[in-house]
Amino acid sequence: MLLLRPRTQTYPWGSKDLIARLRGHTSASHPEAELWYGAHPGGSATVDNRTLTAVISADPEYHLGTSVREKYGDRLPFLLKILAAAEPLSLQAHPSFAQAKEGFARENDAGIDIRAPHRNYKDDNHKPELIVALTKFHAMAGFRPLSRTRELFDALKCPTLDRWVGIAEGEGSEGDHLRALFTTWISIPATVRKELIDDIVDAARTVVAAGSEESDGTEPWIIETLSNIIELDSRYPGDVGVLGALLLNYVVIEPGEAVFLHAGNLHAYCKGLGVEIMANSDNVLRGGLTSKHVDVPELVRVLDFRAVTDPRIESEGGWFRTPAEEFALAKVEVDGTTEVICRGPRIALCTAGEISVAVGESEVQLNPTQAVWIAAGESEQITVSGRGQVFIATVNN
């Protein structure tokens, strides 16, 4: 068992206080967006002065185990993070495995440097992901069913918007209609788009203001969604991402609740602190709400336009199990001593209190944001004691 030092990512949307407060400090000098506890080439955690990637490479059979190596090679299949958003991330989606493999090879063949800002594919892997809230967490996640989007449009009473509603009607599946509306909106001239967004935001302000009256009767989800649209436009006036956000589920989850996103789901985290786990990839296709590279045609190519009724996922016995084969995540509340049985390569991450993690004869004390690497060759039994909270990440077996 080895103490891990995470790789800190300082993206502009990060928070100066969320991770700092988790550590027991007041604030940081710069935005801290993500702490990476994993072995990705773009940012590996370290053990002493060695990267976790190097540690695994020195003895992959011991660290990953036979079954993981047979399926994923000598690469850790998951990436664990703490994510802290003070403002919205870009509107984005991640490719499927086949799309990532093709896109990575295509950009390599084109001679695009892996560090180039216009590079879309940083690796050849897909990226389904799960985030579990540590604070109240706000997210846009997956295309909302059209029936509910029509309710939202009806509540807005925006004549400019009404002229576009017909695109999402007539013959075809729900996914066809969502594709038609989204692809039309992202391709209209900037002046037309700005007028449309301005009118939508003006109408949203009217609905939100009226919603503060107890007798109004507007459903809370509509008020929350439109309040988010207003805030997005204040940060990115006239941005195409504001129109995309109008079609997405807007969810607010409490600590311990989770959202799962398949590859291809359009999404953006808005604000909050959470533990995130995903397939070991950093592939992001952006469609707005960012100053970074936006490749709309490539984004549309990877998008899954099937509606998502509810992106939230429940835990079973403390475990969040998803369709993703690369990872499973457990949230363990500790007040005394608890034993967790799981095999394969594992990471135990403390997020509250003071805890002790013991595997075999080895024992390590952890405070919030500290983590340990537990090799597949070590005991399947993890003993956690003290008072606090720990997340355990492993392969979904």
Three-state SS string over 124-145 comes to CCCCCEEEEECCCEEEEEEECC
- pLDDT-based confidence at 82, cuts 50/70/90? very high
CB 32 within 8 A of CB 14: yes
**9 in a labelled binding site:** no
> Which residues of the chain are in CATH 2.60.120.10 domains?
328-394
Q: What is the CATH number of domain 88-325?
A: 1.10.441.10
Give the C-alpha separation, 389 to 369, whole Å: 11
Q: Is 389 annotated as a binding residue?
A: no
94 labeled part of a ligand binding site: yes
**Can you give the pLDDT at residue 214?**
60
285/296 Cα distance (integer angstroms)? 8
Helical residues (DSSP H) of 303-367, grouped into ranges: none
Using one digit for the tens of pLDDT, what is the confidence trace for 291-315? 888 898 999 999 999 999 999 999 9
Arithmetic mean of pLDDT, 80-90: 97
Q: Residue 94 in contact with residue 51, Cβ under 8 Å?
A: no
Segment (H or E) for 199: helix 190-211
pLDDT digits (tens, 9 = 90+) for 240-251: 999 999 999 999
* pLDDT value of position 321: 86
Report the C-alpha gap between 139 and 156 in whole angstroms.
Answer: 21
Of the listed ranges 29-33, 183-187, 208-212, 276-280, the least confidently predicted one is 208-212
d(CA 351, CA 337): 17
Residues of the chain with CATH 1.10.441.10: 88-325
The architecture in CATH of the region 328-394 reads Sandwich (2.60)
Contact by Cβ (8 Å): 384, 334: yes
For the segment 111-139, what is each residue's pLDDT rounded down to a tens digit? 999 999 999 999 999 999 999 999 999 99
286 is catalytic: yes
Is the distance from CB of 269 to CB of 18 less than 8 angstroms?
no
Mean pLDDT for the stretch of residues 213-230 = 87
Q: What pLDDT is attached to residue 169?
A: 84
- In this structure, is the dihedral angle defined by the CA atoms of residues 371, 82, 46 and 375, taken in order, positive or negative? positive
Higher pLDDT, 26 or 378: 378
Considering the candidates 119, 193, 286, 346, report the single residue annotated as catalytic.
286
Range of lowest pLDDT (50-64, 68-82, 278-292): 278-292
The band of 216, judged by pLDDT with boundaries at 50, 70 and 90, is: low
**Is 262 assigned a ligand-binding role in the annotation?**
no
What are the structure tokens assigned to 263, written together? 């590859």
Other CB atoms within 10 Å distance of the CB of residue 317: 6
